[in-house]
Amino acid sequence: MDATTPSTQDRPELATAPELCVVVPVLNERDNIAPLVDRLRAVLAGIAWEVIFVDDDSTDGTREAVAAIGRQDARVRLLHRIGRRGLSSAFIEGAQASLAPFVAAMDGDLQHDEALLPRMFAALRDDGYEVAVGSRYVAGGGIGAWGRTRAGMSDIATRLSRLILRAPVTDPMSGFFMVRRGTLDAAVRGLSAMGFKILLDLLASLPAPPKLIELPYEFRTRVAGESKLDAGVLRDYLLLLIDKLVGHVVPVRFVLFAGVGVLGIAAHLVMLRLALFVVNFEQAQTFATAVAIIANYTLNNLFTFRDRRLRGRRLVIGLITFSAICSVGAVANVGAAEFLFGQRHAAWWFAGAAGAVMSLVWNYAVSSVITWRK
Ligand code: GDD
Ligand code: MN
């Protein structure tokens, strides 16, 4: 470089703005950070790229590992979230923190094959595709060393996803993909942002099926750190499906609450039948009601309001407020149904269902602000 050419040291604005942002959600991935950055540097040579690690308050020194590199290399960035969880929201927020016209989602545990990134990039920039998906299920791809259970679960989840997908994709569960900024922008306000399945969420939120290409890759075996896949991921997946199916009509939480209520009625009837072997009807009905309330309470605490789950002493207090709320709901239910049936001469089933729906809405609305208040 001769003396007249400004160096980026004197003219920092000449440093190239990133064209590609790789968003990497991480939770306790300390030992995978440095190898991942090394691989990105190797495969993305020639592209103006940046990587944003979105860390949900890891406790193993992940952020320190990112910082150690990021202080020497401005392409390596960190977004530290506190009190938050979830791969999908991590990706969205990482992507929104960047101005790059192309955005990739990639795991931080080296299971995704980074060699695919330049090919995804070329497909979007040069071939006009809007989304490029790293796929395990097209010819040449694979699921690596997955056990039969995990493979079976993935298969079922993929089939279920067809309920909400319009575009034909063989691997909508993939967490490895690249998207144009404009395509992301078209979907971003409609995203459910629940749980793990961001690509599915994105595809189901777009106004029209995007121009999409699937590129095969072999899912690698994790070496360092641990998988975060647990029962919560399954629950979040079902929530995403429900939200995409009926979320524009009623909140997902209400659907869960109602579902638990239906289970409660089943539990009630089973208990009533069993108790009738031992005691008279009034006693049996009282017993079955108590069991149903406790069952409803427990299930709502575990599923419907999992994110606000009550424990210890608050679990007991919650049961008391929940029972009180449901009792009022039951009285209102009977009153409303009686009014419709007796005064308005509504059909018995209409009066009964209207009373039940009314108490369901009451129980949901009041218990979500009292029993499971934020
Ligand atoms: N920020 C953040 N917050 N990161 C998270 C969280 C979270 O709550 N949970 C997991 N991660 C990070 C992990 O640190 C890892 O970098 C990546 O997300 C994937 O998590 P794993 O726990 O390794 O997921 P997996 O290997 O079981 O799941 C993979 O397969 C799915 C396809 O079946 C991932 O690739 C998914 O993206 C993919 O959908
Ligand atoms: Mn993994």
Is the confidence at residue 8, as pLDDT, over 70?
Answer: no
Residue 140's identity, in one-letter code, is: G
Phi, psi torsion values for 233, nearest 5 degrees: -65, -40
The residue written with tokens 């900024």 in the block is 181
Contact 216, 133 (CB under 8 A): no
Does the C-beta of 134 come closer than 6 Å to ligand 1?
Answer: no
What pLDDT is stored for residue 307 in this prediction?
85
The domain limits of the chain are 12-246, 252-369
User: pLDDT (tens digit, 9 = 90+) per residue, 196-235?
Assistant: 899 999 999 999 999 999 999 999 998 898 888 877 888 8
Residue nearest to ligand 1 atom 28, measured at CA: 229
Q: Which helix (H) or strand (E) holds 304?
A: none
Is the confidence at residue 148, as pLDDT, over 90?
Answer: no
Burial class (CB in 10 A: 0-12, 13-18, 19+), 139: exposed
Alpha helices for 126-277 (secondary structure H): 148-161, 181-188, 198-205, 231-246, 252-276
Mean local confidence (pLDDT), 120-145: 92
Q: How confident is the model at residue 5 (pLDDT cuts 50, 70, 90)?
A: low
Contact 169, 131 (CB under 8 A): no
Does the C-beta of 107 come closer than 6 Å to ligand 1?
Answer: yes
Does the C-beta of 130 come closer than 6 Å to ligand 1?
Answer: no
pTM (predicted TM-score): 0.83
Is the confidence at residue 37, as pLDDT, over 50?
Answer: yes
User: pLDDT (tens digit, 9 = 90+) per residue, 85-111?
Assistant: 899 999 999 999 999 999 999 999 999
Of 177, 235, 238, the residue nearest 206 (C-alpha): 177
Q: Considering the domain 12-246 in this protein, what is its CATH number?
A: 3.90.550.10
Q: Which ligand is nearest to the CA of 31?
A: 1
Is the confidence at residue 296, as pLDDT, over 50?
Answer: yes
User: pLDDT (tens digit, 9 = 90+) per residue, 298-316?
Assistant: 999 998 998 899 999 999 9
Tokens of 109: 């545990």
